[in-house]
Structure 1
Amino acid sequence: MLAAAQRLRRSTDFAAAVRGGRRAGRGAVVVHLTMPVSADPSTPTSSQPVRDTSVEQSSAPSRAGFVVSKAVGNAVTRNQVRRRLRELVRERLAALPEGSTLVVRALPAAAEASYPRLATDLDAALAVARSSRERRSR
């Protein structure tokens, strides 16, 4: 189970991650990953003194949310898929940079997918989303 600080709950948080995040789909899942932008401390934006915010930024936990629509199946099936995805993301959330936001959307194929297949699809989608974001920031 994810800690309360690691869960996305507000629709505005979901919308921000889906609109502003990097999307990658593999097999039974689609992930939207938003990683924090590291500010360059050598370029102050105002005449105010530059303060060190690294402590504040490092305390922001990575957060995750899940979207499992009725297209996946009935309530029992949707909850089973959500529980599986939640456990898979819990294991991988520590590997994401601090302050990241992850939204995992289950596709209808997730209803019949096995746990190892969901894990493989999630890992592949996260790898694509992270590598694309890292290439862009260079």
Structure 2
Amino acid sequence: MLAAEHRLTSGAAFGAAVRAGRRSGSRTLVVHLAGADVPAPPRVGFVVSKAVGNAVVRNRVKRRLRHLVAARLGLLPAGSVLVVRANPAAAGASGAELGSELDRCLDRVLA
């Protein structure tokens, strides 16, 4: 579970991160990272559409992604906004596969 200060809840912030941020994609995920120069904790939001599956599948994917991102919050710069979008292939991916693809996408956007 992500702490409240790390949750991205504003629709405008989601849109700004997707439009202005750096993007990296894989088979199961697309990651958008927008930097900010404010001394605030990084915030993370998730987008899991109905194309991924029914409500049970979408919630399982979100839980896995939240757990994986919570372990990697230390890698994100202060004040940054991260949006993780799940592709339909994420429904059938294992936790380890999601983790490795998340790491690869984060490495690309942080470089």
Name which of 51, 56, 59 aligns with 1:79. Answer: 59
Once the two structures are aligned, what percentage of the paired residues are identical?
A: 58
Please tell me the residue identity of whatever aligns with 2:50.
K
**TM-score (structure 1 length as normaliser):** 0.78
The answer for the alignment partner of 2:75 in structure 1 is 95
The answer for the alignment partner of 1:19 in structure 2 is 19
**TM-score (structure 2 length as normaliser):** 0.97
Distance (Å, rounded) in 2 between the aligned partners of 1:87 and 1:33: 18
Distance (Å, rounded) in 2 between the aligned partners of 1:33 and 1:114: 24
SS in 2 for 1:86: helix
1:26 Cα offset (Å): 1.5
Please tell me the residue identity of whatever aligns with 2:109.
A
Give the length in aligned residue pairs: 111
Distance (Å, rounded) in 2 between the aligned partners of 1:9 and 1:36: 17
Unaligned runs of 5+ in 2: none
Q: Give runs of ≥4 in structure 1 deviating > 3 Å.
A: none
SS in 2 for 1:71: coil
Please tell me the residue identity of whatever aligns with 1:102.
L
Distance (Å, rounded) in 1 between the aligned partners of 2:102 and 2:35: 17
Distance (Å, rounded) in 2 between the aligned partners of 1:22 and 1:99: 15
Please, what is the CA RMSD of the aligned residues? 0.8
The equivalences for 1:1-138 within 5 A come to: 1-37=1-37, 57-58=38-39, 60-131=40-111
Distance (Å, rounded) in 2 between the aligned partners of 1:65 and 1:130: 17
